[in-house]
Amino acid sequence: MGVIHARLAHVGVYAHDKPKLEQFYTTVLGLVITDSGQGRNGIELTFMSSSPENHHQFVLVSGRPDTSGFNPINQISFMVDSLAQLREVHGLALAHGATDMRVVSHGNAWSCYFKDPEGNTVEAYLDTPFHVPQPHGTPLDLSKSDAEIMRETEDHCRKDPGFMPIEDYKKSLAQRLAS
């Protein structure tokens, strides 16, 4: 028998106001509603995706209970393709009611964190060509050019004793996963 390496395929989130969250995620992150309907016990489901390869990557489910000030969702993360797209999500999120905006460089990724209209923490991010041990974070100024951000990130990462190019890290991780 081989080693199983499961891959996260989709996330389902309970919602208080499902139509409001549908509008938020389609507008801010460009997700498309692929299906919707009633499931068991009368719950309403909305399936969403940003990839023709995946029927759904994100599911909104009606009937979120009152969690009395505690949100059991730590974060929901969406990958974008460029710093330009990260800047766009940042602006769209703020324009559509996102709160608690935080923009950070993790060394291995550039991230924009915010709360959706129901208080779920959402992250939009893209990978960098670097690896540093996590957790790692420094403020990120999206008003700077891509070249400035790349240079500052590399300079900061090289000061970390665990720094390495991402390709070296991927090779090391592949060896660990194979054993």
Do domains 9-64 and 74-179 share one topology? The answer is yes
**CA pair distance 151, 135, nearest whole angstrom:** 20
Tokens of 22: 């549908």
pLDDT in tens, 11-50: 999 999 999 999 999 999 999 999 999 888 888 999 999 9
The reported pLDDT for the residue numbered 3 is: 65
Domain ranges of the chain: 9-64, 74-179
| CATH superfamily entry for domain 9-64 | 2,3-Dihydroxybiphenyl 1,2-Dioxygenase, domain 1 (3.10.180.10)
**CA pair distance 9, 126, nearest whole angstrom:** 18
Q: What is the CATH number of domain 74-179?
A: 3.10.180
